[in-house]
Structure 1
Amino acid sequence: MKKLLLASTALVLSAGVAAADVSLSGDGWMGVQRDISNNFNLISRARVTFTLSGETDTGLGFGGSFRADNAGPAARGQGGSVYIEGEFGKLSMGDVDSAAQATMFNTPHIGVLENNQDSRITALGSTATAALYEYSIDGFGVALGVGQLTTGDQEVSIGASYTFDGFGVAVGYEYMENSPDHILVSGQATFEGVTATGFFGRLDGDDQFGLAVEAGFDEIGVQARAKRDFDGNDHLGLGVTYDLGGGATMGASANRVTGLGTTADVGVAFSF
């Protein structure tokens, strides 16, 4: 009887595993960083991501993803996300972007170690747990986002984008109760391996705007970006990468912010 029970249990477990679609991926990096205080630091990290997916009998897709280091928050809806999608669009919940973030064209990272200093597009974003609805057809996309319903400061965002023949434009609006509204416009153009991205945002009478260019030449990538933030600080970043193949990429970058200083790094990033 025990042997029969064990065999039956093994059969059920193996059938469940066969029916599930769970995959693992990972990323990591290692390198040397010069921080804003002119100190040189060794930096490294390794992360694993779980990606889950499935399909109902009627053809609806569903799934989710979370990083292993965010497993606890993901179980509470505050890390990672889950979704269901079909011809009606895609509905996601969890630690999701605002609708403006989901539709905008963002400026690139420079190098491989995410040298940022808030030098990319700044958005209000959303707090977890939030909901994001997305729908796209023939190059046109729309999105609607709402924050957690029980929080004191309600969040609502909308976004729309349109892409055609290597060009794209997007507009987004973010509302957060007891905070200024944020309007964001972005655009992107790609031609023969060169991509240019520009953006403009207005928040409570203050503006942010910027421009970035990235290009690829075989294994070599080059990135440049400039930004004026809401406080009037100027950001300038330059980066270069070299694809080693097999998921490994070398890179170096430097990013300067007026009034704050310059950060720089060199290292290798990995994708698994």
Structure 2
Amino acid sequence: MKKVLFATTALIATAGVAAAEVKFSGYGRFGIGYIEDRSTNDNVSDTALVSRFRLNIDGITETDGGVRFEGRVRLQADDDASTGEAGSAGLNGARFSVIFGGLRVDAGNVAGAFDNLANYYGNEPGLENFIGQYSGVDYEFLAYSSTGSGANAVFFQYAVGDFAFGASYDQNTTNNGNTALGGADQWDISATYTFNNITAALAYGQTDGPAGADDPSLVVLTLGAEFGDFSGTLFVGRDSDTPLNDAGEETDGTNYGISAAYNVGSALTLTAAYGDGSADGDTQQYGIGAIYDLGGGASLRGGIGRSKVGSADGTTRADFGAQFNF
């Protein structure tokens, strides 16, 4: 994402202390989206305007010793996919970071080890990135919230050479059905290694289960590679002791997926993704998309795909529109 510095402020009067700065960055997107049988309400059309405006606000300063302090909040406005109307807009929870060399520590509304894992999301087709290789995963891990307060958690990462190690901890999560006594402890860890044009990453996470039950968990292995104009990712995982889906079908099992991107020319990139799982209640997704670079951080994007949850009927989805980064 191209980031442009809009405003900086030199604040601190102490001699030799680096200047503080405030940065604004983000993107906007808008277009047309189609969801088959979008709603049971006859007055809601399957085709509707889709949009998002995202503004990141970062406050940054650095000490004499080279320790960098950051704070981020995000303003975001989205459409409501279920109704085709404008959705909620507001300020999310704050994330605070301390960075020194290869060490980074985040606190507050943080992304955990899975949410930060290299190639977890892969290439997601569509203006709205509605198809993912990870679709078979039913475990709810610690993730950054763009529109809510998020978790009050901590994330740690250390990178040295070609290796990177990460870990996160959330003391009172309600993920994976853990609502008793206000929540349960959740943690995850990861390791990443990059060699030449290939990146391999492995992560494991676990949540304290309800009294008398096993602890829900997830393990994921990803591989990503670039070969000239082609890039691709592989995804394999396994979740256990996750809740049944809405139809009461089993969701524990192996998850797998693949995604790819190919630069056809100087401006056009084609994308594709497929995700599924071995359990009866897992979500299967597949689709293709295209991105046409207009220059200056603007592009035309679109995609078409299909999603199916367990034994339920599949749903076709498509979109097309413009995105501009700033």
Change over 3 Å in CA distance of 1:139–1:88 after alignment to 2 = closer
SS of equivalent residue, structure 1 residue 99: coil
Structure 1 residue ranges without an equivalent (≥5): 1-13
Structure 2 residue ranges without an equivalent (≥5): 1-8, 14-18, 39-45, 78-88, 143-149, 174-181, 210-214, 241-251
Would the aligned equivalents of 1:82 and 1:94 in 2 still touch at CA under 8 Å?
Answer: yes
Counterpart-to-counterpart distance in 2, 1:120 and 1:232? 8
- 2:123 corresponds to which letter in structure 1? P
RMSD: 2.5
Q: Determine if the alignment matches structure 1 residue 115 to structure 2 residue 137.
A: no
Change over 3 Å in CA distance of 1:120–1:271 after alignment to 2 = farther
1:120 Cα deviation from its structure 2 partner = 4.8
1:104 Cα deviation from its structure 2 partner = 3.4
1:147-175 CA distance string (max 9 Å, x none): 03695310111000101111011110011
Would the aligned equivalents of 2:105 and 2:155 in 1 still touch at CA under 8 Å?
Answer: yes
Would the aligned equivalents of 2:131 and 2:285 in 1 still touch at CA under 8 Å?
Answer: no
Q: Determine if the alignment matches structure 1 residue 177 to structure 2 residue 231.
A: no
Matches within 5 A, 1:34-45: 34-37=34-37, 39-45=46-52
Greater mean deviation of Cα atoms: 23-32 or 138-147? 23-32
The structure with the greater share of residues assigned to helix is: 1
Aligned counterpart for 1:124 among listed residues 106, 116, 140: 140
Change over 3 Å in CA distance of 1:252–1:64 after alignment to 2 = same
Counterpart-to-counterpart distance in 2, 1:252 and 1:81? 31
Change over 3 Å in CA distance of 1:88–1:114 after alignment to 2 = closer
1:212-269 CA distance string (max 9 Å, x none): 1112231111101111135344311100010011121101101202333110001111
Change over 3 Å in CA distance of 1:152–1:46 after alignment to 2 = closer
- 2:130 corresponds to which letter in structure 1? N
Aligned counterpart for 1:221 among listed residues 269, 289, 300: 269
- 1:32 corresponds to which letter in structure 2? I
1:201 Cα deviation from its structure 2 partner = 1.0
Aligned counterpart for 1:62 among listed residues 53, 69, 74: 69
Aligned residue number for residue 25 of structure 1:
25
Length, aligned pairs only: 255
Counterpart-to-counterpart distance in 1, 2:51 and 2:102? 42
SS of equivalent residue, structure 2 residue 114: helix
Aligned counterpart for 1:93 among listed residues 107, 122, 139: 107
SS of equivalent residue, structure 1 residue 128: coil
Aligned residue number for residue 53 of structure 2:
46
Matches within 5 A, 1:225-240: 225-229=273-277, 230=279, 231-240=281-290
- Per the normalisation by structure 2, the TM-score is 0.72
